[in-house]
């Protein structure tokens, strides 16, 4: 039976949002809530929508390991998937070349096309006899308390974003002034929430007109819902990368907008995850460039 992978992924995300647990809301595994990006059998990190799907599966099944692999990959590593274990679907993207005749000139051109296929993968916790490192839990998140974390503060400063702080109790990206506004960190219940919100606004900033230019200054309600979805996913990716526990205060209006948009377009979660991944990659590039310049001066 042919699987509509986009419908499958979208329905999974919709179900979790409706239950109050979207996969980027709790992107960690195990009772200890250890933060982890899902990885392939060879240690390569998954990207985009696959992160969301594997986070969702790990959360539902309480998997501890960050490693995922196919049945054959498990066998190659000396492991064996336990009887009765159910696979999780991931998406594999690839390209192929095909020849096509130009209708005007009659010449045959070679063109490259993209394709997506489904991979059935298992978490290491579903597999016996793998090497011991496959069962290790990732390091637990840092307990930041209510004080600023200099390392995390330096990361966001190194993006080059104009981040200002006032007593105004709102966090936002102002596209016309090209700045991020944050309330004082002392007004947050804990520092993890502060950096989660800052990650959200920094994703908006990097998607702004002077950088990726993927978010409009004047948007429709549908575009606004999509932009907020991208920012939430991007903030979760950043939080996990930086080793803090994401905790986003999502409003009912946000969730209603996401659900309406997702139900109308099964491609949307793929687009949002891809845009979020692109934004985080760009943020990391900006930080790396600043570090390179600082090393050259030193």
pLDDT in tens, the chain (298 residues): 567 888 888 898 888 888 877 888 765 544 444 557 899 999 999 999 999 999 988 888 888 899 999 999 999 999 999 999 999 999 887 777 777 766 666 676 777 777 778 899 999 999 999 999 998 766 666 666 678 999 999 999 999 999 999 988 889 999 999 999 999 998 888 888 899 899 999 999 999 989 999 998 888 888 888 998 999 999 999 988 998 876 555 556 667 778 888 888 989 999 999 999 999 999 999 999 998 887 777 6
* Interatomic CA distance for residues 122 and 140, integer angstroms: 23
Rg of the chain (C-alpha set): 21
Closest CA to 22 of 283, 262, 280: 262
Report how far residue 229's alpha carbon sits from residue 224's, in angstroms, rounded to the nearest whole number.
9
Secondary structure (3-state) at 287 = helix
pTM greater than 0.75: yes
């Amino acid at each position: 039976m042919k699987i509509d992978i986009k419908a499958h992924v979208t329905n999974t995300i919709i179900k979790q949002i409706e239950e109050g647990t979207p996969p980027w809301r709790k992107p960690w595994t195990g009772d200890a809530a250890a933060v982890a990006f899902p990885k392939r059998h060879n240690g390569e990190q998954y990207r985009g929508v696959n992160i969301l799907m594997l986070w969702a599966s790990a959360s539902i099944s309480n998997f501890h390991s960050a490693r995922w692999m196919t049945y054959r990959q498990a066998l190659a590593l000396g492991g064996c998937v336990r009887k009765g274990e159910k696979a999780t679907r991931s998406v594999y993207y690839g390209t192929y070349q095909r020849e096509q005749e130009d209708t005007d000139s009659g010449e045959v051109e070679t063109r490259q096309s993209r394709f997506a296929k489904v991979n059935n993968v298992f978490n290491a916790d579903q597999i016996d006899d793998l090497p011991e490192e496959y069962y290790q839990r990732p390091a637990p998140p840092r307990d930041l308390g209510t004080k600023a974390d200099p390392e995390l503060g330096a990361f966001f400063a190194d993006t080059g974003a104009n981040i200002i702080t006032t007593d105004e109790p709102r966090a936002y990206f102002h596209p016309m002034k090209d700045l991020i506004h944050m309330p004082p960190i002392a007004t947050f219940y804990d520092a993890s929430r502060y950096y989660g919100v800052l990650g959200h606004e920094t994703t908006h900033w990097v998607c702004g007109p002077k950088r990726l230019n993927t978010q409009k200054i004047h948007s429709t309600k549908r575009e606004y819902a999509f932009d907020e979805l991208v920012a939430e996913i991007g903030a979760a990716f950043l939080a996990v990368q930086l080793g803090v526990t994401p905790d986003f205060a999502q409003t009912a209006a946000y969730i209603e907008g996401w659900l309406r948009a997702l139900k109308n377009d099964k491609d949307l979660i793929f687009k949002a995850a891809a845009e979020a991944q692109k934004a985080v990659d760009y943020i990391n590039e900006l930080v790396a460039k600043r570090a390179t310049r600082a090393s050259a001066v030193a």
